[in-house]
Amino acid sequence: MGKSPAWQALVTAQGMGDNYSTYVYLLRTWMYQLISLPSTILSVQGGLFDIKYMNLMSTTSFVHNHLAFQYYIFVTAAKHEIQEYFRKLESLEMFGLKQVVIIDMEYLLEDTLLLRMHYHNIYFIEKPSVGIESSAPWYQIHCVASECVNKLEQIGKNVSNLNKYFWSTVTAFGQKIELSGLKSITNGSRKVASFHGFLASWIFQDVLKHDLTHVRPLYSFTPIIRLNNWGSTWNIFFLHDVQTYSFVSCHQTRSNSDILTTLSSPLDDWSWALLATHFTWVVLILILLPKQLNSDGILLMIGISLENSVLSGSIYKAKFKPTKYPLIGLNTFIGVWTLLVGTILTNWYKSIFTMEMIVPTMYRSPWTTVMDVEGIRILMPFKLMGEHSVDMIKFDYFRHKYFYTQLLFRCHEIAIEPGKYKRLMVYKNRAKALVNMLRPHFGMDENLNIKYKSGVFTDFHRPDEPHPFNKSVLKGYPIQSVDYNKADSYNIVKILSTCEKVALIDKAENIVKITNFLNDNQEKRRFVRGDGDHFFRQFEAG
């Protein structure tokens, strides 16, 4: 059997000559062992190592770097060139979770059945501090083909234990906490660091004691964040929560205690319509009967429907004069009506009616959602657009700028959301309108590119420096940012108490507490919350 073109090219490139059959057999055997593992195998000719091999991993032909258990394998007789490249390489994070392995083809010249591999230690620290475990940049593995995969996995696990020195966090933290400038240690403790910063410091407390300023982090400890539509699809995340929002308003709230509603509540509209239809047919049948029957018969049907216990004695004494036509069908008809309507239905109705009367008065809002209501005014807390970031901003100008920036891009995400089902189309149209109303304040064109400098948020200033801000500029915008405080400086209660087309949106658990607070008023205004609005619903992941 002749040599295949692919393997012949490899022989020529590596100059292995007569050892062709030996190393081809070994490689094929070892590749069969690797068949269940995501791997990329490249042949590299000595002196011709090209940077393009490193760029291959970013193409669509390869599994993404952030998926675990991958191997990037170089089959070469020029291992020193590859090792030298990795020694000088600074951006090791480009490899992500890929594990780099070199198969040394020179070793096959020694007429052995063993493979010699070199496993790259991506966590190698050239000059480790005291207390940090020392390691080597490459680890050699000698194995027969059937055992190589197991040994490769074992050394990979051992090397991965060194990754704890290569982590960073989005929140900046160090060995010391600066308390100067805090007026109250009780109230100011929350401003020292966010919960995420505290947790990161706690997890990395053993790492902070080492001087690792010369070590470049490869991974980042990210906080729980909102998923958006702009991220890459390869991100690995764990779904933490689905954040839902509710609203509260007293606009046109109605109770279920009016007389007609109470009387009709035991049956729904379709049931009443069906009952009225059957009653009409019964009356028509009795009207079409001979004249001697219809008068007493109609009174009998009415009495039975109201309940046969309230009928007068004359009705019970009503008799039908004998005719030449049998009345079996009529008697059966009256009997069925008496059983179903005069007994079962009336008793069931009284039971339901009695229960309805002892149930507390319920109030309901005319809205199931508020973001699709024309002309409505929405109050929304600053923290809904970024809880951790808003706490760190001192001045009103930057708090409002951050809030409306997040709102702008959040609405833009909804506006470009794929899909055409009814509710989504309503939300998309609403989002487009909100974006178009907000763009001029940022000096943006239709593509959200900054083109003008006439907007209220077009000035660029440092967040730690005060900047004048006139809140009335955004008075006509449908969504108004507010904040909770004891003095109610944003007049939240006053605005909601007007019971105009205005609603407050917040997290569902907060709206429950706020609704109870608002309903405790002397004017007996009734505030109702709703949970059917999904405009700002978000998925949180870490």
pLDDT at 305: 60
Task: Give 181-230 pLDDT, tens digit per residue.
Answer: 444 444 444 555 556 566 666 767 666 666 676 777 777 766 666 666 55
Report percent pLDDT > 70 for the chain. 53
**Cα dist from 59 to 6, 41, 52, 254, whole Å:** 23, 15, 11, 61
**Cα dist from 10 to 13, 32, 83, whole Å:** 5, 18, 21
Residue 495 has pLDDT above 70, yes or no: yes
Cα angle for residues 213, 214, 218 (degrees, 5° grid): 90
**Stronger pLDDT, 498 or 34, i.e. the higher one:** 498
- Which residues make beta-bridge pairs with 247? 505, 530
Q: Can you tell me which residue has the tokens 């449908």?
A: 478
Instruction: Say which amino acid occupies 184.
Output: S
Task: Give 301-314 pLDDT, tens digit per residue.
Answer: 666 666 554 454 55
Dihedral through CA 207, CA 210, CA 213, CA 216, nearest 10? Answer: -40
Residue 503 has pLDDT above 90, yes or no: yes
Q: Which residues contact 463 (CB under 8 A, 6 or more apart)?
A: 393, 394, 395, 398
**Beta pairing class for 254-255 and 245-249:** unpaired
- Please compute the mean of the pLDDT values over residues 124-139 and round it to a whole number: 84
Number of H helices, E strands in the chain: 19, 17
Q: Are 492 and 511 within 8 A, CB to CB?
A: no
Pick from 492, 268, 220: nearest CA to 379: 492
User: Percent helix, strand and coil across the chain, each rounded to 5?
Assistant: 45, 15, 40
3-state secondary structure of 68: coil
3-state secondary structure of 190: helix
Task: Give 341-399 pLDDT, tens digit per residue.
Answer: 666 666 666 666 666 555 556 777 888 888 888 889 999 998 887 655 555 677 788 88
Q: Are 219 and 96 within 8 A, CB to CB?
A: no
Task: Give 135-176 pLDDT, tens digit per residue.
Answer: 899 999 888 877 888 888 889 888 888 887 787 765 555 444
- Other CB atoms within a 10 A radius of the CB of residue 530 amount to 19
pLDDT at 185: 43
CA 282 vs. chain centroid, Å, equals 57
Residue 416 has pLDDT above 80, yes or no: yes
Instruction: Report the C-alpha gap between 90 and 167 in whole angstroms.
Output: 16
Task: Give 82-112 pLDDT, tens digit per residue.
Answer: 888 888 776 676 677 778 888 887 776 566 6
Pick from 9, 19, 87, 73: nearest CA to 45: 9
Tokens representing 46 are 């000595």
pLDDT at 74: 81
Pick from 535, 527, 532: nearest CA to 254: 527
Q: Can you tell me which residue has the tokens 């680890």?
A: 139
Pick from 119, 111, 143: nearest CA to 29: 143
Instruction: Report the C-alpha gap between 528 and 251 in whole angstroms.
Output: 9
**Cα dist from 315 to 295, 296, 312, 384, whole Å:** 10, 7, 6, 70
Tokens representing 41 are 């195998």
Instruction: Report the C-alpha gap between 240 and 238 in whole angstroms.
Output: 6
Q: Which residues contact 270 (CB under 8 A, 6 or more apart)?
A: none
**Beta pairing class for 502-507 and 377-381:** parallel
Tokens representing 459 are 């000035």
Buried b (16+ CB within 10 A) or exposed e, 40-70: beebbbbeebeeeebeebeeeeebbbeeeeb
Q: Are 105 and 143 within 8 A, CB to CB?
A: no
**Stronger pLDDT, 218 or 443, i.e. the higher one:** 443
Pick from 518, 492, 486: nearest CA to 187: 486
Q: Which residues contact 470 (CB under 8 A, 6 or more apart)?
A: 456
Task: Give 385-408 pLDDT, tens digit per residue.
Answer: 765 555 567 778 888 888 888 889
pLDDT at 496: 92
Query: Taking the domains of the chain in order of start, what are their residue ranges?
Result: 5-163, 257-360, 377-541
Instruction: Report the C-alpha gap between 125 and 431 in whole angstroms.
Output: 51
Instruction: Report the C-alpha gap between 384 and 374 in whole angstroms.
Output: 22
- Other CB atoms within a 10 A radius of the CB of residue 414 amount to 20
Q: Can you tell me which residue has the tokens 């997290």?
A: 507
